[in-house]
A and B are shown apart, each in its own frame.
Chain A
């Protein structure tokens, strides 16, 4: 019976996804609202919030670009498209994104393959995981600052070690290198579960048919991973396209990219319409990548990735020589990352890196006096955004995964928009939307908090949906059959099982609230500012010591919070519950 049920749509049960297919009468909707008023009011409130904080700002951005004094016009867009300098920025952005996608996916695959097939001892896996996580949880400038410390005008490597004078660190090469190191962990986290989920018996089968290990890799392992590689490439492309911090510091004048151009247009030239038009141009490739990733690549997976990774005996699919080569390559890249962070730490405790290496705590004194407001503001905003973002994620995730209501799929899609779009676009859209009546929020903490909730809460939504999809319908029916009402069932069965997703959502919102800048740089004010913005100010004033100290502080805080959340996950995860492999997975 169970097998044919999937092919059957069920007209009158609560679990069906058939609502849209059947066509629903207003009377039926009214009946449904009466039956489940809690769901109805939750759906309504979420739609209101999504309308205000996702749809409205985006509409206002489009209006600002396409409407002038009440009439439709493409003049603003035309100005960008015909401007050779701006179009160069557009093509540069695409070029940088593609290169970061290729290099990052390669690095990510290298690490994922080594981790999944290298038969590494547990401690080494943990070490790799930690090192690889570092760039993901750091403020956006960290690798960029380390690059300048190493290869800048008085860089440790170029100037002190090699004695090269006049080497310019600024340009495509450095930006590419810095972004690849920063974002390849995304590819690693995407590819590792896929490689781990490939049934090792398939590889064993190919080997038993006489194929060499290299041939097995080429004809079996790699083809099965291709959808994952495409996915990783698109995610990296999107990350690079959205990155505004790294190019701002490293790209220099010779290599303009769109997000930085939009930022400079607004903060430098006070040209909001021009900035909006630039971000609109950025919107097009960003949307294409998002739709490709969502509707094309993700449907082409050969292997199903569930939360359960363990339990497979690793197959001897890598020769000892190849294993050593892989390990060496990973070790080298890990070393680069560790070196960057060690350098950052070192720079934060010496007077001036490259000039005066005397030990000092002056930089920390500076950030805890001059920078104290930024630290306090950031912690308050992150502290407010964290629980709200976590709740938002679990609530919306539960509704779209378990309840049927009109517009369920569109709600899920709309909730992903701010998450998928480059931060620059979201930031400019918020700036335009909430600067004037009826919703004046500029200068408040609320606008930053809202930005974080709707931009980073979707991680919690995805985690919740993924978890709920693994929880069989019969669990809730079993509870119901034993006499429990829907409230008791939710509280005692569903909620404990999705708690890991809640913590994952909390963690991501907090970490991003501590480290993000691309959207919120447009939203800070005299009343409310952020550490990341302070770091940027420090860099532009060339006070790199305090910038390094701030970065070290953020990384330390984030690691403490990750550790706490890890403990909570362990504490609340009952032995049988579904595992959340990573807070950042996918």
Chain B
């Protein structure tokens, strides 16, 4: 058991190192450099010497191995560097942006999961019927739509046509009266991004839930439950969903890992100040330290979510618990 733990810890460390190294290399392998942002649109008219001098201000003229060593050394002491674009500590910028992304992503994942599971269960329990066919067709269609397009349609309807909701930003220009008023205003501005993400991610979870429920419905223990004369509702909640929801749980846990990557397109369309927009702007500016910091956060999030799924799965599935014990 201890050997297994050591091996697994070693695997996680290897994955972390590989992720950190890729975080360093990938932004630098992308074509372009930060000069276009640092100088502005006029960068092209500078001579080579001036371009080099600007890069030297941020240590970007140093050999790549030296930059890599400095990057790893910084990580060890928790220093993610200074953003080229904002001139501030990368850690501080990330800490500012995380709450905004969580504010729209946590509710959207929860709502989307609950809704998709309910619809998937409904479709599976009426397999082959009209409701099943309609739900599969509609969710497949929605799943094929790009999220930013869904966002634009929601803006066209709720911001332009009905003028119920604002189309951009996370906070009003002026604070509302009181903390509750301000919180409600912030909530109003989160409605469209959340709705976009819920609609955009519904299809995948719906299909997963439907397939899992269908599989569970054919299991012997479910047949047994029916044979014992249990009510269909009790069979569904007590016997079918307990096993059918395990894949959904795994999928949702892993999707929390990708939370920190943010919803790049959605945050850009809604001018929402979360991590996704930050990454978008950092890519445009070739802000290597900021990209590294955001990707480190994302990579660690994914690894942590994998670990969480690994660690908690046995609590929900006795078969895995038994296997681990043996």
Whether chains A and B associate is: no
